[in-house]
Structure 1
Amino acid sequence: MDRVYIFLGLFATVLFLEATGGSYMISAVQSIERQFQIPSKLSGFLISASDISYVPTVIFISYLGSRGNRAKWIGAGTVLMAMAHIFTATPNFIFPAEQPKLNLTTIEETLLPAKLLSEADAKLEQFFEYQPIRDRIPSDLLSTDDTPFKVYEQSLYSLDEPLISQALHHMNLILSGDEDEKPLLEVLRKFVKNRHINTQEDFAIIRRAAIAPFTFCGKLVNDLRSVLTGSFVPFLDLKCHQKSSNVGPLLIIFTALLALGIGRTMPWSLGIPLIDDNVKKHSMPLYFACISFIRILGPITGFIIGSLANKLYFTTPTPQGLSPTDPTWIGAWWLGFLLIGIITILPSCILFFFPASSNSDKVMPTENETKPKKKNQLLLFDKHMDEKRSPEEQTLKGGAKAFLKSYKDVVGSKIYVGTVIGRILDVLAFKGYVVFLPKYLENHYGIPQYRVQLYMAAFGVFGFALGTITGGLITRKFKLNGRKVALFVLIVSTINTLMYLSKCFLGCHSIVNSVGLDGASTNFNYTRSCNMDCGCQGAQLFPVCDPSGNVYYSPCHAGCRHVSVLDLGSYNLEFSDCDCVPGKIVKKEFCHDNCSFMTVAFFVTVMIGAFIAGTGVVPGMLILLRSVPPATRSISLGLQGFLVSLLGTLPSPVIWGFIIDSACLVWEQTCSSRGACAIYDPIKLRLRMHLLYVAIRMISMFSDLYVLYHSKNLNILEDPDEDNEQDENEEVKRVEDIQLSTMH
């Protein structure tokens, strides 16, 4: 098989694995935090470690690698990446961490009934002070109102539900004057007796309720939830006041990710020029499109591996009763790093030991020699680079001069400078937008997180990948060259900017937005007299509605003391005994918004925009590659990576984070301080996100115009070397034919 195709397969594989590992890190961060109790500010710093090492090293490695056997350099880089992934997993074994011990003494003591409740002369008021009873009895029954008795089954929080139902029945009879207190006291005594016997079972029920994605009116459950999330004052030692930095594992992971950043400088900056040397220039768009398509599939694979790994516990055996839905669950984060690292070793080693066809790769032909490239020969050394360096270049001073001269030749190209500026601005706009897009979709259109990832993969990633293939085919089919290819890139940028501008008008009045707008009249304080004693201070946003369509921040804020699972298959929930609701019942099914059409319209623009943006990838990269002298292609890609990472990738999330936070209406409270934003002003959020993106892209279009102006003589599809080589081959063949005829 042609060595060019073998290299292409190996190169595409390592690019795919590199992208897979990059996205997997995002899915592993939370489990790393839990195992080693690393604060979020440090885990965020970890994610940036590979960029920190990439930025200062890429310009040097791309320069040095371009002057050697590029396959070996790429192989060395990917071996380093493989080792870095494996090394990242080692703290799990070097620093084994026990599961955090939760101080649940107070919760358990509250669950146990006081001794006086077992005495014969216990009063009714004393029973009502017992928290499991107080949580289950509606506040209006504890006062003077008459409430009809209802029985609900399959409750998530049902401490002797039949006895509680009997107690409610007797309370109604007492309030109506048809019965005295004795039957009620008998029922409550039996309930208290069962609490002594079934304390552990009761605690398991409360624990299940505490890890549910919703909160309801139950102080015991909400106190336990606060313990698990670290926001409950008596248990600050669990999370909020955790001062252990775990320097050892953090240092290992940080060092491994630094090595990962150095390793990933080599494949892209050296591999693309190597392929460019070994394929016909008119075929390069198609090759590049296929490689980019495979690379784009990497992040999807990384998230899938992360999902599977996080369903496994980080050690064995799994603690009894613990599940992946539990806030204290620690996924097997290390497993994915090992898997990706081990798989990467094989193609990395093959590349590192990739055989040169002959030593002639390094020998430059003399003026009287004609040395055509053999059919199966793979040019591992840059054919435009003279390996015979002058004695002056071999000194430190001479090498530094050659290094600076190479970069001077690169930045001297007006087309290159304009292209890089445009790329920096594109990444500055796109990176931050994509990071916060899931949050925007959840808050603005009410789309659950798990669906957001699915929709973005289906409409965004695959649309972009198909656009990349299409762009390569268009470039080759229509032979875009010179100003034609620059004009094509400008048209793509213009259409893409217009697609994002159209999203400014795709607003809707979602359920989450309704909660925010309803809270404006009370300064976003959702606590009222009817839910004062429910412990809703740390309640998660879980909008529910009554039959009339009125929206409540959470079942807890609706004063609901009971939840029933109506359908286990669909997890259809009904919250009842709601003190703040006239009909006493709330459900998500009662909530209706007008976002269906706008959601479809939004993702149509996402699909079209991603496809259009993808068509510009191949011609844009070819413009960059052809805008510099052939001998400086690797250097140009390295410098571009340096500038894009430094000025685009690193600052973009910070800028966008500031813009997103500026539209916040309601902040969650974590550890007595402001946490994440729960509800945004929908209009401000929509306009600020998309207008910022459009503004940056419009500035970027000026760089596209600049490139268009200077690209009259730009040649991306035709290579004079190929024509000369063909003429030389024909001349050699003609001479050989003459010699053979003379011999005969």
Structure 2
Amino acid sequence: MKRLFKNKILIFNSISTTLYLLGIIGYWTFMPKYFETQFHKSASTASLITDTRCDYFGWSPDWMQKLTDIKVYIVVYGLVGLVEGAVGSYGVATLTTIEKRFKLPSHISGLSVSSWDIGLVCSTFFLAYLGNSGRKPRWVAYGTFMAGVLCISNVLPHLIFGAGEDAMSLAKSDNSSDQVEQESCVLESNENTIAAILLIVSNLVLGMCSCTYYTLGFTYLDDNSSKDKAPFILALVFCIRLIGPTLGFTLAAKCLKLFIDPTIQPKITNDDPRWVGWIFFGIGNMILAICMFPFPKRLPNASNTSEGLENNSKGRTIKGSVGLACTALGIISSGIVISYFKPSPRYLAGWNVLVESLDVLGHFCFAFFGCPIGNIQGSWDLSGWNMTQSCNADLLCDDDIKYNPMCADDGSTTFFSPCHAGCISEVLNASMVYVNCSCSADGIIDKGVCPVDCNYNFIIFLILLCILRYSSASGRAANTMIQFRLVLCFIKIYNFIYI
């Protein structure tokens, strides 16, 4: 029976992985046309203003615009990661309680936990595809709000069916072997089946909702932060998120000290193996979703700190999706190989050394990949790079003018700033609009750097990335097995902390 269940799991994983790869093929088929359209489309003044304003379904008061700051986003986004990390660790800590309450076999509870990862893997590409061209914070808000709803739905089996007959009997007697009527057994069996289905479906959809945080949220953060500060900002967000698992385990420990029904005074203590703790989690996700919702499509200062290339978002989306798929394939295939061939710890350790060495070498090779530098308007002279031409000489552009790239109508020449493009500026609703650009044939230029063709290098980079992610992930199962098998049983739990 166990072997049959394992085969079903492998078949399910294979099907989901195949669908994921087919999605990637569809991405490469249809997305180039989409991005080509985006690159050569000039945004109107109204859309530029709308895209940089906070709002709730069109309600956009001026006082709310003070929230259009990367610092505010970092705080909200970091708290979202903290709560999601707490949700995951809380679910793991309360797993045995759920098993005892609903009499779930280990393979069902394991499937419930794995369904989170299955939902995450299967939905990453599709949600990233849909959200990449839209308002990323709003997609993150939708996913976060739904995650909060699903956290509550995980408690529904307990709210619907109560504490259960076993818990009620413990309040009457400390002998858990009382006879139960046959009708109660049948009813309890149906309750347990419904509870298992609810838990699996909730965790599956919960994994789908959480992928917006990792894909769209990080992309938005990087797009709207300066390149020199981005590493520090990402590290700060990771540090905030790392508090989440600790918070989840601490909350679970406190909650599980309470009996599953706080109104009942059982005649056993929480040291008794029959103790069933209280399963609970708050609505922090919903509150944070409301805070995340009003963030604009792009922050007002993003044009001064970002190069404006939509290819960056595309590259990060593809890299994250493909990398995740290869990592999943590596873990699954290595688990199958280890289970079938049963290699010795010496061979497993040797394989880990090999794949990690390849990983270091591959990342060193990444230094030689890159895109060609775009054509910046100007020429060399005795004083250096001179960007003054006859079309912009009358504007007397300062040498210390802020970098604000503009793309000419030919799509190949990038001007350092609107001044160097010969544009006349005027203020409209606190947004700068550039018109009558003398260095452009028709006086129209697009905001941002001109697109650069880098598809070939990017494909080579993706192939190498897939190989590295697959090989590196194939060593994770081996590494985990070594750390579990080569330690004494009583210190195994401490060894798990470092995995």
TM, length-normalised to structure 1 = 0.38
Larger relative CO (CA 8 A, sep 6+): 1 or 2? 1
- Cα deviation for residue 262 of structure 1 reads 0.7
The structure with the largest alpha-carbon Rg is 1
Q: Tell me which residue corresponds to 1:632.
A: 315
The equivalent of 2:416 in structure 1 is 727
Q: CA deviation at 1:653?
A: 7.1
- Which whole-Å CA distance do the structure 2 matches of 1:54 and 1:297 have between them? 22
The match for 2:204 is: 258
1:12-46 Cα distance to aligned partner (Å, 9 max, x none): 11111111111111111111111111112211111
Name 2:244's counterpart in structure 1: 298
- Tell me the residue number matched to 2:77: 11
Tell me how far apart the structure 2 counterparts of residues 699 and 651 of structure 1 sit (CA, whole Å): 15
- What does the per-residue CA deviation read over 1:332-383, in whole Å, with 9 as the maximum and x for residues that have no partner? 12x13xx1xx011111122223345xxxx6xxxxxxxxxxx84378999x94
For the residues of structure 2 that align with 1:275 and 1:26, how far apart are their CA atoms? 29
2:198 is the alignment partner of 1:272:
no
Tell me the alpha carbon deviations over residues 705-744 of structure 1, each in whole angstroms, 9 at most, x when there is no partner. Answer: 13423522548xx9x999553931664899669xxxxxxx
1:243–1:42 CA distance, 2 compared to 1 (3 A): farther
Q: Distance in 1 between matches of 2:420 and 2:103?
A: 72
Q: How does 1:66-85 map to 2 (within 5 A)?
A: 66-85=132-151
Q: Deviations over 1:392-423 (max 9, x none)?
A: xxxxxxxxxxxxxxxxxxxxxxxxxxxxxxxx
1:384 aligned partner, one-letter code: L
TM-fit CA distance, 1:69: 0.8
Offset, 1:78: 0.9
**For residues 80 and 315 of structure 1, what CA distance do their matches in structure 2 show?**
27
Counterparts of 1:301 and 1:652, CA distance in 2:
32
Measure the CA separation in 2 of the matches of 1:14 and 1:378: 27
Alpha-carbon distance in 2 for matches of 1:40, 1:60:
31
The residue that corresponds to 2:361 in the other structure is 705
Instruction: Indicate the residue corresponding to 2:290 in structure 1.
Output: 349
- State the SS of the aligned residue for 2:257: coil
Question: Counterpart in 2 of 1:644?
Answer: 327
Deviation at 1:655, TM superposition (A): 7.4
Displacement of 1:267: 1.0
1:334-733 mapped onto 2 (5 Å cutoff): 335-336=280-281, 339=282, 342-355=283-296, 374-375=300-301, 383-385=308-310, 630-648=313-331, 688=345, 692-693=348-349, 695-714=351-370, 723=403, 725=405, 727-728=416-417, 731=420
Aligned to 1:314: 260
**In 2: Cα distance, 1:101 partner to 1:345 partner:** 31
Q: In structure 2, what is the Cα distance between the partners aligned to 1:281 and 1:264?
A: 26
Counterpart residue number, 2:12: none
Counterpart of 1:57 (choices 123, 127, 134) is 123
1:101 positional shift: 7.8
Residue 269 of structure 1 contacts residue 635 of structure 1 at CA under 8 Å; is this kept in 2?
no
| Residue 645 of structure 1: how far off its partner (Å) | 3.4
- Aligned-residue offset at 1:90: 0.9
Aligned residue pair count: 317
Residue 105 of structure 2 corresponds to residue 39 of structure 1:
yes
% identity of equivalent residues:
21
| Residue 195 (structure 1) aligns with | none
In structure 1, distance between residues paired with 2:294 and 2:79: 16
**Residue 269 (structure 1) shift:** 0.8
CA distance in 2, matches of 1:654, 1:314: 38
Report the residue type matching 1:95 in the other structure. F
Q: Aligned in 2, Cα 1:733/1:276: closer, same or farther, shift over 3 Å?
A: farther
Amino acid at match of 2:368: K
Deviation per CA, 1:217-268, whole angstroms, max 9, x where unpaired? xxxxxxx9xx88xxxxx99x9xxxx993621111111111111011011111
Is 1:21 the equivalent of 2:87? Answer: yes
Return the offset for 1:322. Answer: 1.9
Structure 1 position 51, deviation (Å): 1.2
699-708 vs 39-48, greater mean Cα deviation = 699-708
Q: CA RMSD in A?
A: 4.2
User: Structure 1 pair 310/640, CA: closer, same or farther in 2 (3 Å)?
Assistant: same
Deviation at 1:704, TM superposition (A): 3.0
Say if 1:4 and 1:376, in contact at 8 Å, map to a contact too: no
Query: Are 1:244 and 2:189 counterparts?
Result: yes
SS in 1 for 2:228: helix
Q: Report if the CA contact (8 A) 2:90-2:249 is conserved.
A: yes
2:141–2:290 CA contact under 8 A, matched in 1: yes
CA contact (8 A) 2:135 2:296 kept: no
Contact 2:115 2:204 in 1 (8 A): yes
Query: Structure 2 CA distance, aligned partners of 1:701 and 1:735?
Result: 56
1:94 partner amino acid? I
User: Which stretches in structure 2 are left out of the alignment for 5+ residues?
Assistant: 1-65, 378-401, 406-414, 427-499
Match of 2:456?
none
CA displacement, residues 582-610 of structure 1 (integer Å, 9 cap, x when unaligned)? xxxxxxxxxxxxxxxxxxxxxxxxxxxxx
2:252 counterpart of 1:327? no
Q: Secondary structure at the match of 1:281?
A: coil
Letter in 1 for 2:301: K
2:416 aligned partner, one-letter code:
D
- Equivalent residues of 1:54, 1:265 under 8 A apart: yes
SS in 1 for 2:309: coil
Q: Say if 1:58 and 1:639, in contact at 8 Å, map to a contact too.
A: no
Aligned AA (1:353): P
What letter is aligned with 1:323? T
Say if 1:66 and 1:635, in contact at 8 Å, map to a contact too. no
Change (3 A) 1:639 1:98: same
Structure-2-length-normalised TM-score: 0.55
- Does structure 2 conserve the Cα–Cα contact (< 8 Å) formed by 1:74 and 1:266? yes
Q: Tell me the distance in 2 between the aligned counterparts of 1:21 and 1:655.
A: 32
What SS does the corresponding residue of 1:244 show, helix, strand or coil?
helix
Q: Structure 1 residues 642, 713: CA separation in 2 closer, same or farther (over 3 Å shift)?
A: closer
Is residue 98–residue 104 contact of structure 2 (8 Å, CA) maintained in 1?
A: yes
In structure 1, stretches of 5+ residues that fail to align are 105-203, 208-223, 229-233, 362-372, 386-627, 664-683, 738-744
Q: What is the CA–CA distance in structure 2 between the aligned matches of 1:79 and 1:644, rounded to whole Å?
A: 28
The separation in 2 between residues aligned to 1:697 and 1:74, in whole angstroms, is 38
Determine the C-alpha separation between the residues in 2 that align with 1:639 and 1:297. Answer: 28
